[in-house]
């Protein structure tokens, strides 16, 4: 009996053709184009939530300060309120003089810091929105947006400038009187803590319809977080409270009634 051997070699598997590879690549590209916007939106939503939590913590610290200081809220700083000049004893934060004309908080000086954290790094973390962490963040000053390194800022949030009360010395703006928490009319409707687009100091003149420097941000998918005097935070379109992000320097686009209802701490309709 003879054994016969087959001379045929094992058949090799056929590889993908160029057309098939291109089809697969096209499908992957299509899926990425569909999924990436959804992933980016989910990531931004998470950042917006972290930002809102920051603002709640800041306003809670302000309320804690008021509870221990006869209902007086901490005073927000103007550009001129640096450590090189006399500032009010109840100044919540002091501006760093290295900021030239604004943009830098001094995370060491201020009556508010003990109510935030003992750690300087933690203070910085709380005062910076995770979406607003570019290396050189622009500052709006005198209706001009500056993108140069000399205007680098280290914070995101500011306050409604009406929290300063009266400035008795307008030459240096260093003698504000402050206000009481209980003096705010309709606190659930009034913005006290501001997420600005390009802040230069701790004051946002949002009740003043002619100040183009202080604009509510729309960095969170065309919306921005705003902290209200009763302690809640809302992510809102700036237009909903009387601002126009397309024409910020044109006062004819501003809804004065909405600004008064939502930004004037002492206005009652």
- What pLDDT does 265 receive? 96
Does residue 87 contact residue 81 with C-beta atoms inside 8 Å?
A: yes
- Determine phi and psi for 162, rounding to 5 degrees: -65, -15
- What pLDDT does 110 receive? 93
- What pLDDT does 174 receive? 67
> Following DSSP, what letter does each residue of 15-78 receive, concatenated?
---HHHHHHHHHHHHHHHHHHHHHHHHHHHHHHHHHHHHHHHHHHHHHHHHHHTTTTBPPBPPP
Two structure tokens written together for 52: 């809102």
- What pLDDT does 233 receive? 98
- What pLDDT does 13 receive? 61
Which of 163, 253, 159, 147 minimizes the C-alpha distance to 210?
Answer: 253
Decide the pairing of beta strands 144-146 and 139-141: antiparallel
- Determine phi and psi for 225, rounding to 5 degrees: -80, 135
Rama region for 128: left / alpha / beta (φ>0; ψ in -120 to 50; rest)? beta
pLDDT truncated to tens, each residue of the chain (269 aa)?
555 555 555 565 666 677 777 777 888 877 777 766 767 788 889 999 999 999 999 999 999 999 999 999 999 999 888 876 677 788 999 998 877 667 899 999 999 999 999 999 999 999 999 999 866 788 887 767 776 655 578 999 999 999 999 876 666 666 788 999 999 999 999 999 999 998 999 999 998 766 678 889 999 999 999 999 999 999 999 999 988 766 655 555 578 889 999 999 999 98
Half-sphere exposure of 123 (CA within 13 A, CB side): 20
Question: H or E segment at 171?
Answer: none
- What pLDDT does 244 receive? 78
Chain-centroid distance, C-alpha 237: 13
- What pLDDT does 21 receive? 77
- What pLDDT does 100 receive? 66
């Amino acid at each position: 009996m003879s054994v016969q051997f087959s001379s045929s070699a094992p058949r090799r598997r056929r590889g993908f053709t160029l057309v098939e590879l291109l089809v697969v690549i096209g499908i992957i590209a299509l899926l990425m184009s569909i999924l990436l916007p959804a992933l980016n939106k989910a990531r931004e939503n998470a950042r917006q939530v972290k930002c809102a939590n920051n603002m709640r913590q800041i306003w809670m610290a302000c309320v804690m300060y008021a509870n221990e200081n006869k209902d007086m809220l901490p005073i927000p700083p103007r550009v001129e309120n640096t450590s090189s000049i006399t500032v009010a004893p109840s100044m919540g934060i002091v501006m760093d003089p290295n900021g030239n004309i604004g943009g830098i908080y001094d995370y060491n000086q201020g009556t508010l810091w003990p109510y935030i954290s003992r750690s300087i790094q933690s203070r910085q973390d709380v005062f910076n929105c995770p979406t607003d962490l570019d290396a050189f963040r622009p500052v709006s000053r005198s209706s001009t947006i500056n993108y140069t390194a000399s205007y680098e800022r280290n914070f995101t949030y500011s306050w409604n400038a009406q929290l300063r009360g009266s400035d008795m010395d307008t030459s240096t703006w260093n003698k504000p009187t402050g206000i009481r928490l209980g003096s705010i009319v309709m606190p659930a409707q009034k913005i006290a803590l501001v997420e600005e687009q390009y802040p230069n100091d701790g004051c946002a003149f949002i009740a003043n319809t002619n100040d183009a420097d202080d604009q509510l941000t729309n960095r969170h998918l065309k919306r921005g977080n705003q902290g209200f005097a009763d302690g809640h935070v809302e992510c809102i379109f700036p237009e909903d409270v009387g601002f126009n992000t397309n024409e910020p320097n044109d006062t004819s686009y501003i809804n004065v009634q909405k600004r008064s209802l939502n930004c004037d701490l002492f206005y009652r309709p």
